[in-house]
Amino acid sequence: MEFDKILELLAQHAASDMAKVRCMRIVPQRDINRIVALQEETRDAFLRLEKYGNLGFSGLSDVGAVIKLLSVESVLSAKELLSLAGLLEAAASAKKYGDGEDVGLPKAMDSLTERFDMLIPLADVSGRIRHAIISADEIADDASSGLKEVRRKLKAADDKLRREIDKLLKNDTIRDMLQDSLVTTRGGRYCLPVKAEARSKFKGMIHDRSASGSTLFIEPESVVNINNEITELTVDEHAEIEKVLADLSLMAASVKEDIEFDFKTLIELDFIFAKAKFARTYRCTEPAFNEEGRVEIKAGRHPLLDKKTVVPIDIKIGDGYNLLIVTGPNTGGKTVSLKTLGLFTLMGQAGLHIPADEGSTLSVYNDVFADIGDEQSIEMSLSTFSSHMSNIVYIVKHADSKTLCLFDELGGGTDPVEGAALATSILDYLKQMGATVMATTHYNELKVYAMSEEGVENASCEFDVATLTPTYKLRIGIPGSSNAFAISSKLGLPKHIIEAAGSRMEQADKDMEKLITGLTESKKQAEEAAAEAERLRQEAEELKTSLEKKESALDEKKAEILEKAREEARDLIDEAKSQADNAIREYNKWLKNPARADVKAMEDRRSGLREKLDKLDGDAKAKPKQTSNHKSGDFHIGDMVLALNMGTKGTVSSLPDSKGYLTVRLGIMNTKLHMSEVSIIEEPKKQSTVSRTVSSSVRSKALTTSPEINVIGKTVDEACSMLDKYLDDAALSNMSQVTIIHGKGTGALRKGIHEYLKRNPVVASFRSGEFGEGEYGVTVVNL
């Protein structure tokens, strides 16, 4: 399966060496609940990467040995203490990442939240270590008061020594005794390079001599005491440093459990985020899992193949059949398909996402057995067949309903007749055991077995005979062909040899090849038809959505109009009530004082009120229905008419029937109206140099000309010839608008018709159809 290579790729995405080791040690799980939990962790880490960016593990190093030293209360070195500080700083950074503080986003609540929350940064511990230790070789002066005092004295002694040395070098007598005017150290003490012949004259202690013996390295007598003081202070300095390291070690030991918890948690997070980064790199998705043996891999891409050239494959097994037999030519992708199924199963059960499309499904197996490749063993004196059979014997002994078995060239390496019989029996036994099996073969007998046996299915890897190259696409339901004759012919093998080979084949084999070819072609046509049906379904869905939007807009408009009408009605009622109230008040005044009542004023008031109410009543009521007095003989095809109750102009498309109903084209709609509901619009007569009269033949033409013409299936020339006559007839029939139906197709006919319409003097303008008119399948022409 090359699962180890996948783990190597996974390890490359881990930041720390410990997480890399963790990656290399993962194994597939058998418990579905554990698998789902691992997948959830990978998914949540992936989502965090997308939302918050990368989680850094800078400072995380292997402190396992350091933690053990803390357990026995050992004094740690500066380097070891710095490694602990780096670990705690990595914990603080991870905790901040988990809270979403880095990007200012809300805290995520998922399967990783608890891990982030339980991290203990111990900022005071890491802070004290960083304050005291500058580097692995340098402790800060402020690490302790004792160390600071010792170093102050050391500096004073060193300055005193330098002044004394400078004084000696400036002495002419002493300078003549020196090989060179420089200061060196021997055994940690400052010395001067003195000429050997001046030994008796130069007072001091000899510490070394040159290889030639011409130079002696002497500590001047005047600086011996100062050097002694520096040596003692250096010892004191080391003692103070040891105290600092001991104090820091003791502090770290007091929180050893917390440090160890952070260490293990960070390694686990590094490992989980490595899985997420792997998923991002290889465009992986989370598969669904079941325990019923159902597998459906959608557009699976083998992760060890080149991402730019790998061909996605679909694998489906366990739904109606548990045995899948794959056939086809060599190098066609059969083995890759086999490995893809096995590898994805191992990856999924190890908590890794798989490089396939969303919606893929895997089954949980207790064992995955594979017999793939040429395992001929020289040491064991086993042939290829024997080696394979040893594997198969083991698989047969251990297979059950929770087993996935993968066989490459099952029954190969021996006599074809015996090999095919053995392979069929092995598959039949595994089928009875309930195992899930995928096997590759060249045997026709296994193809027949798959076609005749329930629960067994054929599959094949496509091969393009025209280019002599495989397409690497796996087609389930169709057995494959070796294409040996076609390939040989393409490569130049003489035709008579190929024909002779064909004559040697059994008729049953020939029939099988013909059957396979026919099935392949039928499957291809069915898939193309399904793709076209899906395209049409999507187009219909889009049209439906568009129609629903327009219908919704009309409903909103209707509601708006009704609301406006209600408001106007309320206004009319309020005005009528106001007028009535005023009149009643005036009449009441007159009734209380009849002597002052003015009969003429009362009558004028009553008449004014009646006129006002009549007016309000007229405004509130719907307008009376308008009618015309036209007779059926007054109408002609193409007449311009006004739909009285709609206030819309249209064109007569059909003459009145026995009941007086005629068809009128109003914009994009043909509407049936009674002839009393339309009024003929008299168009002004056009002036011309020659007066024309409409003959009876023209009148006859107007009665028979349709408002639309269908030219689907015609060539551009044929369609234009038909349109010449049709547009003339339409113009003579006084039509203002016609429709040309040409269909969508490739668009060539529509384009040719539009070019023709641009040149036709009868045409005023034209446009493609709108929604509901036929869209780009029709052209609407204004004459």
The whole-number pLDDT of residue 554 equals 79
Helices (H) and strands (E) in the chain, counts: 22, 25
CB 321 within 8 A of CB 453: no
* Residue 215, C-beta contacts closer than 8 angstroms, at least 6 positions apart: 179, 193, 194, 195, 196, 209
CB 228 within 8 A of CB 246: no
Distance (Å, whole) CA 657 – CA 674: 9
- Which range is least confidently modeled, 430-434, 476-480, 707-711, 728-732? 476-480
Question: What band does 687 get if pLDDT is binned at 50, 70 and 90?
Answer: very low
Distance (Å, whole) CA 701 – CA 723: 15
**Residue 374 confidence (pLDDT) above 60:** no
Question: What band does 549 get if pLDDT is binned at 50, 70 and 90?
Answer: confident
**Residue 602 confidence (pLDDT) above 70:** no
Distance (Å, whole) CA 286 – CA 298: 12
The whole-number pLDDT of residue 284 equals 94
CB 766 within 8 A of CB 753: no
Look-up: residue for tokens 């099935």? Answer: 519
Over range 445-472, report the average pLDDT: 77
* Residue 211, C-beta contacts closer than 8 angstroms, at least 6 positions apart: none
Question: What band does 139 get if pLDDT is binned at 50, 70 and 90?
Answer: very high
Distance (Å, whole) CA 654 – CA 641: 12
CB 69 within 8 A of CB 83: no
Distance (Å, whole) CA 453 – CA 562: 69
CB 513 within 8 A of CB 491: no
Provide the 3-class DSSP secondary structure of residue 161. Answer: helix
Provide the 3-class DSSP secondary structure of residue 349. Answer: helix
The whole-number pLDDT of residue 507 equals 59
Question: Is the pLDDT higher at 484 or at 105?
Answer: 105
* Residue 116, C-beta contacts closer than 8 angstroms, at least 6 positions apart: 94, 95, 97, 98, 99, 269
CB 707 within 8 A of CB 654: no
The whole-number pLDDT of residue 36 equals 96
Provide the 3-class DSSP secondary structure of residue 280. Answer: helix
Question: What band does 270 get if pLDDT is binned at 50, 70 and 90?
Answer: very high
**Residue 269 confidence (pLDDT) above 70:** yes
Over range 393-422, report the average pLDDT: 87
Look-up: residue for tokens 């005291």? Answer: 132
The whole-number pLDDT of residue 590 equals 64
Residue 114 tokens read as 């608890």
Average pLDDT score, the chain? 83
Distance (Å, whole) CA 403 – CA 231: 76
Distance (Å, whole) CA 190 – CA 162: 9
Looking at the DSSP bridge assignments, the partners of residue 652 are: 664
* Residue 675, C-beta contacts closer than 8 angstroms, at least 6 positions apart: 628, 630, 631, 632, 635, 656, 660, 661, 662
Distance (Å, whole) CA 51 – CA 199: 78
Question: What band does 381 get if pLDDT is binned at 50, 70 and 90?
Answer: very low
Over range 580-591, report the average pLDDT: 70
CB 757 within 8 A of CB 714: no
Over range 292-306, report the average pLDDT: 91
Question: What band does 488 get if pLDDT is binned at 50, 70 and 90?
Answer: confident
The whole-number pLDDT of residue 510 equals 57
Distance (Å, whole) CA 576 – CA 566: 15
**Residue 427 confidence (pLDDT) above 80:** yes
Distance (Å, whole) CA 745 – CA 386: 62
Instruction: Say what the alpha-carbon torsion angle 440, 441, 442, 445 is, to the nearest 10 degrees.
Output: -130
**Residue 556 confidence (pLDDT) above 90:** no
Gyration radius (Cα) of the chain, Å: 49
The whole-number pLDDT of residue 202 equals 86
CB 325 within 8 A of CB 458: yes
Q: Given the DSSP bridges, would you call strands 215-220 and 778-782 parallel, antiparallel or unpaired?
A: unpaired
Q: At 250, which amino acid appears?
A: L
The whole-number pLDDT of residue 475 equals 81
216-252: pLDDT as tens digits = 998 888 888 888 888 889 899 999 999 999 999 999 9
* Residue 486, C-beta contacts closer than 8 angstroms, at least 6 positions apart: 465
pTM here is: 0.61
Question: What band does 464 get if pLDDT is binned at 50, 70 and 90?
Answer: low
The whole-number pLDDT of residue 529 equals 84
Which of 468, 725, 451, 452 is closest to 460 using CA atoms?
451
The whole-number pLDDT of residue 380 equals 43
| CA angle, residues 355, 356, 359, in degrees to nearest 5 | 140
Distance (Å, whole) CA 78 – CA 147: 15
359 Rama sector, left if φ>0, alpha if ψ -120 to 50, beta otherwise: left
The whole-number pLDDT of residue 105 equals 77
Distance (Å, whole) CA 288 – CA 339: 20
Question: Is the pLDDT higher at 448 or at 19?
Answer: 19
Distance (Å, whole) CA 15 – CA 12: 8
CA 203 to chain centre: 85
Distance (Å, whole) CA 62 – CA 64: 6
- The edge-to-edge listing of strands for the beta sheet with 737-741 is 708-710, 737-741, 778-782, 765-768
